[in-house]
């Protein structure tokens, strides 16, 4: 499916000073003892990693996605430069080494070698990686799909059921079998409750790129298409309490938050994205993101709104759902 969670991407509830963070494939997150397995801070699990190919890279985002083998298993490694934070500037200016590259009048450029503790690269490891993981992180051409309610019933829904996308990792979070220490806020109510925790894309060291996910406890809502007016109390509860929790924890007011759902979602269990308005998160564009405030108003005016509305969303070239739309002549 569309990008997820390079996705989904959820980090620690308190800042960490380690330079290597490991995220196994979701099927392997839970180790059977109610804990997420964690690598030793000093252990370099990437020693011996054999690169097969670069799946994609971005000079703007300062990241690179690499496919290869790790201990004879297929793996995807994501390397991402960490942001420069205001509270590190004093150390950066006083503790770095500079090598002059060019000087012309009032302008000069340098190569700056930052102190070791300020020169981290956030590293995400998916191992063992499946073919779906490789395709997910590979640069591909995208197409905008037009989906009617009839298309959803005859093409999209059968595809979702056939693929049997696992959300066990979501249930592990809801049941506190994994990532319990990362939960920022939780409402235990089985109908309108949810858990709120940081997305993996956010390193939690500055609020300018704040990114949290609210995961509903309700297990029968796959996506926007399943929402009806009976779900309004759940959506309103997430909207209200999620904003309050973020204000209390991070001092970010509701006026600076972008609160939205994806369609198509990266995984088929209702979840809501909370990002800082100043942060241009992947997937926040109009072709995929639906503001939660708009979703609530739409359902208030028409209980069956998302069963009658034609929805548009992007799919990448090798996405199986795109093939289904092509096979039926809908693209």
In CATH, what number is assigned to the domain containing residue 188? 3.30.428.10
Check whether residue 255 and residue 289 sit in a common domain: yes
User: For residues 164-174, b (16+ Cβ closer than 10 Å) or e, as one string?
Assistant: ebebebbebbb
Check whether residue 273 and residue 199 sit in a common domain: yes
Whether residue 33 is predicted with pLDDT greater than 80 in this model: the reply is no
Q: Scan for tokens 């939780």, then name that residue.
A: 186
Q: Measured between alpha carbons, how far is residue 25 from residues 9, 117, 184, 259, 267 in Å?
A: 11, 28, 23, 27, 13
Check whether residue 58 and residue 143 sit in a common domain: no
- The CATH number given to whatever domain includes residue 80 is 3.30.200.40
Whether residue 139 is predicted with pLDDT greater than 70 in this model: the reply is yes
Whether residue 102 is predicted with pLDDT greater than 80 in this model: the reply is yes
Does residue 277 lie within any of the structural domains? Answer: yes
Catalytic amino acids?
271
Check whether residue 161 and residue 221 sit in a common domain: yes
Mean of pLDDT over the chain: 85
Domain final residue, candidates 126, 159, 178: 126
Whether residue 235 is predicted with pLDDT greater than 90 in this model: the reply is yes
Check whether residue 190 and residue 237 sit in a common domain: yes
Check whether residue 82 and residue 107 sit in a common domain: yes
pLDDT tens profile 261-280: 999 998 999 999 999 999 88
Check whether residue 71 and residue 212 sit in a common domain: no
Where in the chain does DSSP place strands (E)? 50-58, 63-70, 73-81, 97-104, 107-113, 121-126, 142-147, 185-187, 194-198, 211-216, 257-262, 271-276, 289-291, 311-316
Give the closest residue to 126 by CA, choosing from 178, 69, 54: 69
Give the closest residue to 46 by CA, choosing from 65, 15, 69, 14: 69
Whether residue 121 is predicted with pLDDT greater than 50 in this model: the reply is yes
DSSP 200: B
Residue 87 has what pLDDT?
87
Asked if 206 and 251 touch (Cβ cutoff 8 Å), the reply is no
Check whether residue 119 and residue 228 sit in a common domain: no
Mean pLDDT on 301-324: 92
Mean pLDDT on 141-167: 91
**Res. 16 pLDDT band, cuts 50 70 90:** very low
Number of domain units in the chain = 2
Asked if 261 and 221 touch (Cβ cutoff 8 Å), the reply is no
Residue 7 has what pLDDT?
40
What is the DSSP annotation of 2-54? Answer: ---TTT--B--SS----S------GGGSB-SSSSB----TT--TTTT-EEEEE
Does residue 253 lie within any of the structural domains? Answer: yes
Residues forming beta bridges with residue 36, ordered by sequence position: 30
Does residue 268 lie within any of the structural domains? Answer: yes
Whether residue 38 is predicted with pLDDT greater than 60 in this model: the reply is no
Mean pLDDT on 58-82: 88
Q: Higher-confidence residue: 272 or 116?
A: 272
- What distance in Å separates the CA atoms of residue 201 and residue 7, rounded to the nearest whole number? 7
Check whether residue 231 and residue 271 sit in a common domain: yes
Whether residue 210 is predicted with pLDDT greater than 90 in this model: the reply is yes
Range of the domain at 230: 139-327
Check whether residue 271 and residue 244 sit in a common domain: yes
Which tokens hold the place of 302? 């028409």
**Res. 42 pLDDT band, cuts 50 70 90:** low
Check whether residue 114 and residue 179 sit in a common domain: no
Check whether residue 66 and residue 164 sit in a common domain: no
Domain final residue, candidates 92, 126, 160: 126
């Amino acid at each position: 499916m569309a990008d997820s969670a390079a996705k989904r991407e959820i980090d620690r509830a308190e800042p960490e000073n380690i330079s290597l963070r490991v995220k196994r494939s979701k099927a392997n997150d839970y180790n059977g003892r109610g804990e997420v397995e964690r690598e030793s801070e000093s252990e370099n699990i990437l020693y011996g990693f054999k690169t097969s190919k670069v799946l994609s890279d971005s000079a703007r985002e300062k990241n690179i996605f690499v496919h290869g083998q790790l201990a004879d298993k297929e793996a995807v490694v994501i390397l991402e430069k960490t942001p420069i934070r205001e509270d590190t500037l004093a150390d950066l200016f006083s503790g770095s080494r500079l090598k002059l590259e060019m000087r012309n009048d009032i302008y000069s450029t340098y190569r700056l070698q930052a102190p070791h503790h300020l020169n981290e690269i956030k590293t995400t490891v998916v191992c063992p990686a499946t073919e779906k993981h490789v395709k997910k992180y590979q640069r591909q051409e995208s197409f905008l799909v037009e989906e009617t309610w009839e298309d959803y019933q005859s093409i999209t829904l059968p595809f979702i059921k056939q693929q049997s996308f696992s959300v066990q990792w979501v249930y592990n979070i809801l049941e506190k079998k994994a990532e319990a220490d990362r939960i920022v806020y939780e409402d235990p109510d089985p109908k309108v409750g949810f858990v709120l925790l940081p997305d993996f894309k956010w390193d939690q060291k500055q609020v300018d790129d704040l990114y949290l996910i609210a995961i509903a406890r309700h297990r029968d809502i796959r996506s926007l298409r399943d929402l009806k007016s009976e779900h309004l109390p759940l959506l309103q509860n997430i909207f209200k309490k999620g904003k309050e929790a973020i204000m209390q924890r991070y001092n970010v007011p509701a006026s600076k938050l972008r609160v939205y759902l994806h369609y198509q979602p990266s995984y088929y269990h209702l979840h809501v994205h909370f990002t800082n308005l100043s942060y241009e998160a992947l997937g926040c564009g109009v072709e995929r993101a639906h503001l939660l405030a708009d979703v609530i108003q739409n359902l208030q005016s028409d209980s069956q709104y998302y069963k009658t509305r034609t929805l548009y969303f992007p799919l990448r070239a090798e996405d199986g759902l795109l093939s289904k739309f092509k096979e039926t002549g809908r693209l």
